């Protein structure tokens, strides 16, 4: 795996990017009231029981410790989507990478450009931080997400098998 050098590393990207009626910004602890319902809905999409307290605790821990980067999409002051990135590294390429772990858009805002804007903001963040790339995983049955990712240049990995080792039930 080779990763080309990145032009423009360190050039600032505005804190809030405006897309017509939608704003996109990096989330902080102050955004938890907007993020928690989105994150809880995201977990429910993946068949987890609703648990706003758990969602808040998890997000608070990640943000307070600087363990993730979350970009929040807002329309009319309401949270309509988010993307959460976790830092990682690619040892073989000897570079930083980001794991796009979570992408969620409310049902009423799907197919309106929110998901595309969040993917683009994640890509820009990776470039800004000098990363060699991003990785993600999605359910095999989530065909609409797969189409979205592939339309943005994401490529399905046919070379490596990825495994999980659950440590809890």
User: Domain boundaries in the chain?
Assistant: 16-151
Can you give the pTM of this predicted structure?
A: 0.85
Q: What is the pLDDT of residue 2?
A: 38
163 vs 48, 93, 134, 137, CA distance in Å?
21, 20, 18, 11
pLDDT of residue 14: 55
Q: First and final CA of the chain: distance in angstroms?
A: 35
Predicted local confidence at residue 125, as pLDDT: 97
* Burial (CB count <10 Å: 0-12, 13-18, 19+), residue 40: buried
What's the CATH number for 16-151?
A: 3.40.630.30
Instruction: Please tell me the predicted confidence (pLDDT) of residue 10.
Output: 42
Residue segments in the chain with a per-residue pLDDT below the cut of 70: 1-20
């Amino acid at each position: 795996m080779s990763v080309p050098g990145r032009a423009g590393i360190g050039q600032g990207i505005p804190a809030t990017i405006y897309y017509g009626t939608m704003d996109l910004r990096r989330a902080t602890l102050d955004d938890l009231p907007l993020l928690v319902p989105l994150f809880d809905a995201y977990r429910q999409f993946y068949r987890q029981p609703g648990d706003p307290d758990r969602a808040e605790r998890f997000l608070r821990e990640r943000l307070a410790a600087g363990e993730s980067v979350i970009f929040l999409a807002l329309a009319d002051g309401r949270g309509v989507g988010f993307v959460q990135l976790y830092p990682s590294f690619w040892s073989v390429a000897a570079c930083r990478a980001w794991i796009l772990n979570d992408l969620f858009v409310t049902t009423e805002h799907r197919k309106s450009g929110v998901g595309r804007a969040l993917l683009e903001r994640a890509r820009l963040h990776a470039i800004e931080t000098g990363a060699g790339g991003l990785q993600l995983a999605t359910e095999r049955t989530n065909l609409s997400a797969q189409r979205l990712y592939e339309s943005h240049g994401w490529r399905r990995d046919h070379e490596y098998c990825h495994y999980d080792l659950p440590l809890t039930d």
